[in-house]
Amino acid sequence: MEELQQIGRTYAIWRKRKLSYFAGCDYFRLASHPAVMAAVKDGLGQFGLNVAASRLTTGHHALYARLESALAEFFAAPAAVVTGNGYSANLIAAQALREEVSHVLIDARAHASLRDAARYFACPVLEFKHRDANDLARRLGRLRGRIKPLVLTDGLFPHDGEIAPLKEYARILPARGWIMVDDAHAAGVIGASGKGTAEYTGAPRERLVQTVTLSKAFGVYGGAILCGRRLRANILRRSAMFAGSTPLPLPLANAALKAIEVLRRDPGLRCRLSQNVNYLKSALRSRGLAVPATPAPVVSLVPRNAAEAGLIRRSLLARGVLPSFIRYPGGPAGGSFRFAVSSEHSREQLDDLLTGLNFALCRRRRRHILKGV
């Protein structure tokens, strides 16, 4: 692990150099938004840091109920449950769904938190090909009896920004099936009003469980499960993790409420993000690259070998851009350069990134080296 200090919203100090920062997932830079930061301070002053008790004992506070209403409203879901973070949102939802499900079908590249969540089920867990509705249909077709399958998938896959075809999954799912979508990267970002993958793909909300993090588009910390009222009641009744853990610190709940308000009230944020995404992707496309025309603010570049990785790295550093090379579970085994665009990056920074990548693009010409969505 290497130390890195984010500064000035879109920069980072790395090895004593100030570089443009196109990594991470703070897509609107709300982590450094003045109103969101002020809400942390206000929350701390008003409520203290920690309720130091489970919500099911003496740790329930009015702020959690307010945050859940705001989240349910933002995502147009019947109900919401706030969780300690996005990872535990998947585990908690799984604990509550355990008795409702006969088979689990999980995308081959699902996030680690969904894989962990799958362990809570006492039924068969089957893998289907990455984002492949036909393969899912085939596997569902082989199951016999009155099945109640649960599909587990990311909405927007974080390593390359590909999007799960949720509407197709919903279409082929039997009536008593469920879809649980980990929308950590899609929530607040994609869909006409930022509701995430279901909104973007046009999938219905019925029998859909959406888990989100509050640490990416919302820039704060924490997580949530957006679901029906019955599942919410089952979470409170059946999830040992929900029952046995301390909830999100109140200053963060206060900040999350503010972040939701900022995202709702300032359409400029989503507008600037989409402008930046379009600018970067169309520039890459104009250099002959097959960059799919979808709104994910993520582009990834898989180097062909260590020598090429070194060259790309030097080329980016020469333009003052952090060479964000990561190995991410579910992503390419050897790692990839992952660039995340935010609403706050300037045109100059985008141009620096493009110039830094130019070298690699020229060398490879029209080959599909960039897989972004």
Q: What does the alpha-carbon distance between residue 323 and residue 22 come to, in Å, rounded to a whole number?
A: 9
Among 32, 85, 102, 358, interactor with ligand PLP by CB under 6 A: 85
Cα–Cα distances in Å, from 315 out to 309, 310, 320, 370? 10, 9, 9, 16
Report the amino acid identity of residue 173: L
Among 68, 162, 182, 344, interactor with ligand PLP by CB under 6 A: 182
Considering only residues 306 to 345 of the shown chain, the ones binding ligand PLP according to CB under 6 A are none
Shortest Å distance, C-beta 158 to ligand PLP: 4
- SS3 at position 173: coil
Residues 278-297, one symbol each (x = binds ligand PLP by CB under 6 A, - = not), give --------------------
Shortest Å distance, C-beta 328 to ligand PLP: 8
**Can you tell me which residue has the tokens 């879901």?**
77
Q: What does the alpha-carbon distance between residue 183 and residue 367 come to, in Å, rounded to a whole number?
A: 30
Report the amino acid identity of residue 224: A
The region of 6-14, 168-176, 181-189, 267-275 touching ligand PLP under the rule CB under 6 A is 181-189
Considering only residues 150 to 179 of the shown chain, the ones binding ligand PLP according to CB under 6 A are 154, 158
The region of 9-17, 131-139, 180-188, 233-241 touching ligand PLP under the rule CB under 6 A is 180-188
Among 14, 64, 75, 87, interactor with ligand PLP by CB under 6 A: 87
**Can you tell me which residue has the tokens 């393969």?**
135
Residue 113 vs 254, nearer CB to ligand PLP: 113
Q: Which is nearest to 182 in space by CA: 151, 218, 150, 155? A: 155
Torsion (CA) 196, 197, 201, 205 in degrees, nearest 10: -80
Considering only residues 206 to 245 of the shown chain, the ones binding ligand PLP according to CB under 6 A are 213, 215, 223
Q: What does the alpha-carbon distance between residue 132 and residue 87 come to, in Å, rounded to a whole number?
A: 24
Shortest Å distance, C-beta 223 to ligand PLP: 5
- Tell me if 86 contacts ligand PLP by CB under 6 A: yes
For β-strands 79-83 and 223-227, DSSP reports them as antiparallel
**Interface residues toward ligand PLP, by CB under 6 A:** 85-87, 111, 113, 154, 158, 182, 184-185, 213, 215, 223
